[in-house]
Amino acid sequence: MAEPKRKTKTARGSARNARVKLRRRRSRQSSGKGDQPVFKVKDLARLVGCEYEGDGEVEIRGAASLENASPGDIVFVAQAKFRHLLETTKASAAVVSPEEKSERIPILKAANPHLTFVRIIEIFFKPYRPAPGIHKTAAVAKTARIAKTASVGAKSVIGDGVEVGEGSVIFPLVTLYPGVKIGKECLIHSSVSVREGVRIGDRVIIHNGAVIGADGFGYIKLEDGIHLKIPQKGTVVIEDDVEVGANSCIDRAALGETVIRRGVKIDDLVMVAHNVEVGEHTILTAQVGIAGSSKVGKSVVMGGQAGVADHVEVGDNVIVSAKSGVAKSVPAGLHVAGYPHIDVRDWRKISVLLPRLYDLFKDVKMLREKVEALEKK
């Protein structure tokens, strides 16, 4: 029997119709028992704008890793070193780079397989969102303005003059002090506290337990040893598309503003002190600490537990390796590591030498003793 030919399809011109069908399918599913959606390979290809090869009728019910996939799952392969796993995976389809081939399963071809896979995950898995409205146990001030499409959860406290924009979600047990402004489509998770006068842009996500706008850590030591608190009269401004991780803290300015620019992503347990400015699209990973009045540029990446001293400037596109200490300003484009920070290339050389340092010391000591003995003769 002749082997059936593999089909090759293109997604041009059909993405809009596919999205309409997707909305209708979700509408039908939301009125039923909430079963996991099912898509054919050809439908997924249209939705994410990809070409596909193989059987477009294969049904996909979810997304998984190569190692843990089951029949009905889709996976992705972005690096050649994982190519061999495509030959053994139990998945029913895969997202791959344009040059890849597969005789086993249908494949979606994408210039960026990882990004396409993320978009497929978004199609299958929608996070929980409560319905619009104000819970009966929420305490909302009469002067607060809550958009009709926003949601305020149980036992949240909304102060005087607070504004919450269209589509935003205030989960249970959130406290918004007076004068807080929250933009459109924000997610403020449970146990978040946003202090008075803080301004938050659109599509901002703040995870559980974060504190935005607490007093900056500022004191003057008097002659008798007492630490006099410096009033913290400024505020915090968080621009659009920022994400703040769980239990992170962004302190209000003493005067002026602490500013988190557009697109910044902040991991859990990060500390941003008073009057700091963090540039657009910068990433601060877990337990990073930035001391007062420092300025971090655009597209900076700071590894876990890295620290920045006060009144320091970190230039655009700088990378700070994990557990490094930035004690002085760093020019744009550098990759630094260690404490105090140095160029990462020098730090790597030192790291190689450190385990041998004691042996080198002993060798030098022995050679010195031999030289001294020869000089005495």
Show which residues are catalytic: 274
Assign 375 to helix, strand or coil. helix
CA distance readout (Å), 288 to 205, 208, 219, 269, 320: 19, 18, 23, 8, 10
- What are the structure tokens assigned to 241, written together? 């598309």
Question: Is the distance from CB of 248 to CB of 270 less than 8 angstroms?
Answer: yes
Rounded distance between C-alpha atoms, residue 97 and residue 57, angstroms: 21
Tell the residue number behind the tokens 């490094």, with chain if given. Answer: 324
Give DSSP secondary structure letters for 113-137: HHHHHHHHHHHH-----PPSEE-TT
Assign 361 to helix, strand or coil. helix
Phi, psi of 251 (to 5 degrees): -80, 150
Nearest alpha-carbon partner for 173 in 200, 208, 146, 214: 208
Q: Torsion angle, CA of 32/37/40/44, rounded to 10 degrees? A: 130
Phi, psi of 50 (to 5 degrees): -115, 155
What is the edge-to-edge ordering of all strands in the sheet holding 243-244?
133-134, 151-152, 169-170, 187-188, 205-206, 243-244, 265-266, 283-284, 301-302, 319-320, 335-337, 342-343
Burial class (CB in 10 A: 0-12, 13-18, 19+), 364: exposed
Tell the residue number behind the tokens 């909304």, with chain if given. Answer: 158
Rounded distance between C-alpha atoms, residue 356 and residue 308, angstroms: 30
